[in-house]
Structure 1
Amino acid sequence: MLLRKINQKQALLAWHLFVEKMNAAQPLVERRRKHSDGSEQVFFTRTKLISGNVKDTGTRIILDYIKAYEQSVCLGFTPEHENDLPSLFTNSSKLSDMRSFSERTMRNHISKLRKLGLISGYQFHGTFHDFELWISPEIIFADQNQCKKMHPKAQNFNENFPGITPDCTNFPLNVSFETTGNLEKKSTTVDKGVAAQPGAVPVGDGQNGNAGNTNTSNTGPQRAGKRAKERLERPLAAKKQATGAGGAAAPAKPSQNPVFLSFVENFWQYAKTMLYPGYDFDETHDKLAKNGIWTGVYGSFRIDFDEKEWEGYHAECMKRIDLAEAYYRKRPDKYPPMPYAEFVSGSGYFDRENKFGFCKTHDWLVQQDTWSHQRRVSDALRRARSDFWLYKEGKAIKRIQEKSPVQLFEYHRNRISKLGKDALQKFYKQHAPVQES
């Protein structure tokens, strides 16, 4: 039995229309407003059953499920029956990072989406393990005809969409206006939602994604990738400046270390699965791609890194594949160029000369690390403020309350000092050393 293909555009459209349909089906409530001149205006409000935040969380889960579904297909998943579908392994912490929510809020969103029917299956595996979930087939496999039936103006919505029967009524009162007759259309509240979480997916086309120009001078631990990028670009700049016989001489070719060969092989197999799932590369094309990765991504391994540093750089390159995959998954109208140059030299996706190719993902990774570090600093400072306040009120947990004021100050200072000088300066501004009387 073959798995059905998912049309991401149609699936997201189906979810959008489902939300619009459910919100439009809510009853109108008459409201009256008195103006300063004594006149009275009658208007009608409609409570939203599905808020913008819950809708965006559903969209995020759909995208993650499609990615997990396609990975399962590539790995040879075979359904045993018609309703046997791959699952998405995830957790509230991972999803909350993508949506800039607390884990409790994310758990509430998941509960609402289960009651709405978007999440058709849920399997809990313990507090410290990922849970499994499945998306409703009516959403994930929706076609154009189903989307037409799901339009808010369509009739008999529950008959056209029997797989989703929402029974949840405990939703936030996000209000939007509806007017009748000759009443002027107005709006009292705007559902602003939340800003897109920048840590998980690169924003825009990545051309302005350089995270080096941040407000803080400390962007967390030093990364091998930053050093590698700087050294990889030096011979490229020298090559452009060299002219004629007086140009820079080509350095000697390093020996093909088996570890380096395994890095390139591992990188290409993962990139081929994530970025080129629909391509069938033969042996010649595989060789061309690996040559481009060897020189463009790893700089022919000419940098004087030790084994541990090369392993760290390789791990970062694998993360950059995930960032590139997320970028193209969110933009179905775009696709990565071929991994090697076909017509113009240096135009391959992994070529160093292609400044808008894979090398751009380095800036995305730096930006992601910067945001992640800033979030850790904010959490540490918030925890310190909470402990100091609870300690003063005598309500802190036992191991905190047993400390002296100086010990408590040193405890948090040592924790925050690991996050860099900027974090420590912020801590000093918030809390001065406390001396025992």
Structure 2
Amino acid sequence: MNLTQQINYDQAIRRWCARVEEYNENCETFVSKRTSLTVDGEVVTKEFVMKKGTLKGSVKSTGMHLIALYSQAWAKANAAVHGMARPVDVYVATNRVELGARLSRSGRSCYDHIRKLISVGLIENYSFCGRQHSFKIWISPKILFGEAETTPAVAAQKMPSFAPVRQKMPPIYNPLKQYTTTISADKCGQTQIHDHGNNKDPHSHGQNGQETASYKPVATETRQGGRAAAEYAELEKMWISLPNYLRSLTTGFWKVAKTQLYPRCQFTEEDQRQAILEIYEGVFGKFAVAQSDVAWADYYNELMDRMQLAKRWFDKHPDRSPDMPYRCKKKLGYFDPKNNFGFARTAEWFAKDSLRKRENRVEFLLNSARIDFERWASGKPRASHIGKDELQLFVYYQNWARTYGKEVEAKFSAQYLEQKARNFEPKKIHRLSIRAQKKQQKDQNPTQVVYVESWMSEFGEGFYSY
């Protein structure tokens, strides 16, 4: 099936209506008899042929609404990953109350509609969440995109799918020592290991009046000090043998990098070919790690976040610019993992940023649990916790804290025991009055006695106090 960036809503609705009609036609039929009494007192029996288990118009409209929601989610996902989203990664997060409010139905009716849509085949997958959204829904791609018209004669060979713990890419095979993660503005483009120059932007007239605005590297078979043409030919041969999906990851990454990091550069086809091969080797590690396509998609999304971190850094330092994407003369390429000031550095930035976000989420969890237990004890629980007792509320937050590890779960348990010891009353903050503060300050700084000469005192005393 042809996966496009935008779902044709009209065609998807037509396929859904055809599916409903086909389902209703195949439903079991039965004869219903009805008796009535005429004016003359004669009993008349009429027979009606009816079908059992058909889909009503309300269920049909609920399916249309879910298709519309999924179309919006699909467009948003494609904008985030630049047109390479897959149906397995896009879903609709909603609940019965939200659907009922939009469709003017009760929550129970919407729940029954969801069950019927699953049996019909519109909803391909269903997952219960239990927190902010009640469930996640995946719509069938056959209804959204239609059946595949033609299939390739020989399918591309895919790498075996394993389920080990995914290591952080790119693989760390760099024998050189990595320096501190702090990048100073005056030493960003220089190292003792490799001569990266001063990172002057060759695309700006302000650097050199004789330079042109568009940088066009010399198109020769072997760049001076760079890679030989044979090396790129060997890399290209390995890259072509990859499945289409993995090749699309490298090309998509280069398209984003070209617009985000090199907006003023003009690259020839040969330059772009070498950049893609550098990305294939340096960023994706030649796809040497055997893992599923979903894991590679997650890693690609992580790379997009790292790309934004690098872009923000260069936006804050307009006097700096990234190295060329491929090795040129004595400079390493920006995507070479051996480049201490290249894209590999963003992995450390991303790890620190992820840790900071995780700490904020843990702090939000503990604060929410504290407030909810205090409100529950005062008889004013949150709307989502109405009807829960103390044990149910504890299990709810314990399961939430367990997703962050045993350490966070232990912090939550300690906080819960501390609250329970004071009957879930808000913790009192002892504040001293102004008089008590002055007294405390006076006790900490007692009266000092300073001895002076007799002539320095007005009354002839040999000391005074303050």
Name which structure has the greater RCO, CA cutoff 8 Å, separation 6+: 1
User: Same fold, TM exceeding 0.5?
Assistant: no
Which has more radius of gyration?
2
Q: Name the TM-score, length of structure 1 as normaliser.
A: 0.42
Q: Name the TM-score, length of structure 2 as normaliser.
A: 0.40
